[in-house]
Amino acid sequence: MPPTEYLLRIEDIAHKRNTLADLLNRYEKGDISADMISTIATKYNDRKENDKAAEFYSILIKDYPDPSSEYYKKGKFFLASHEFVNGNENALRDYVLKNSDSPFHFDAYRKMVYHYADTEQREKELSTYSEMLSLFPEDPGVLNSYAWRMAEIETNLEDALLKVRKAVVITTDDPGRQAGIIDTEAEVLWKMNRFDEAIEAIDRAISIESDNQYFKDQKEKFLESKRTNPKSV
């Protein structure tokens, strides 16, 4: 948090203002509004008490059914995500289909691919990435995330290289972001045993962020692979 916001938050906690206990107490005494219910749900979510968060978001959706409200949109997305994680495979896809104007479509697909990765459901993860790429073909974040994941699982590397190089071009006007994407390009090339190209790519990232130690460590990793595999590409 910015210093001023942080200080105000500490003062709230010290005086037991706007804590979860304070908000619940006020709610029970009749201080009920969409803002209050959403804040309580968010605090439960922050504490990873997702069943409680779902309980309050359900109240919000039922008692304040305003599709134009940011609270309502956030609540609908949370409830769909909660259902998905708890076993309803179609919850997030149904959410996307039924909420065409939602700002959370990207987040819905990201949650799906992360969930499938965490639960080692590889086929579902790959098919969801395919859907995600078809919906967000020009989003450098999607392209980069897909390429990095393919490098991790050493799958679809040629396609990953095409996608990440597209992301590099898209981010030409944002060098800081581009450097991180070039690092992904280098990682994919390294997994393909194309060590010289990986070294060339990470050198481009280093030329953008010369003090980035992670990039330097990446280069050393690639150089070591080249030393131990001299006949590789």
Q: 19-28, pLDDT tens digit by residue?
A: 898 899 999 9
pLDDT, residue 163, reads 98
Q: 132-188, pLDDT tens digit by residue?
A: 999 999 999 999 999 999 999 999 999 999 999 999 999 999 999 999 999 999 999
Query: Do 57 and 78 contact (CB within 8 A), yes or no?
Result: yes
Closest CA to 51 of 82, 21, 84: 82
Residue 78, CA distances (Å) to 58, 75, 82, 84, 222 in order: 10, 5, 6, 10, 41
> From CA 167, how far away is CA 164, in angstroms rounded?
5
Q: 53-74, pLDDT tens digit by residue?
A: 999 999 999 999 998 899 999 9
With 80 as the cut, is the pLDDT of residue 18 above it?
Answer: no
Per-residue pLDDT band at 232 (split at 50, 70, 90): low
Domains of the chain are: 137-233 (1.25.40.10)
Per-residue pLDDT band at 14 (split at 50, 70, 90): low
- pTM summary value: 0.79
The DSSP code sequence of the chain is --HHHHHHHHHHHHTT-SSHHHHHHHHHTT---HHHHHHHHHHHHHTT-HHHHHHHHHHHHHH---TT-HHHHHHHHHHHHHHHHTT-TTHHHHHHHH-TT-TTHHHHHHHHHHHHHHTT-HHHHHHHHHHHHHH-TT-HHHHHHHHHHHHHHT-SHHHHHHHHHHHHHHTTT-HHHHHHHHHHHHHHHHHTT-HHHHHHHHHHHHHH-TT-HHHHHHHHHHHHHHHH-TT--
Percent of the chain with pLDDT over 90: 85
Percent of the chain with pLDDT over 70: 95
pLDDT, residue 114, reads 94
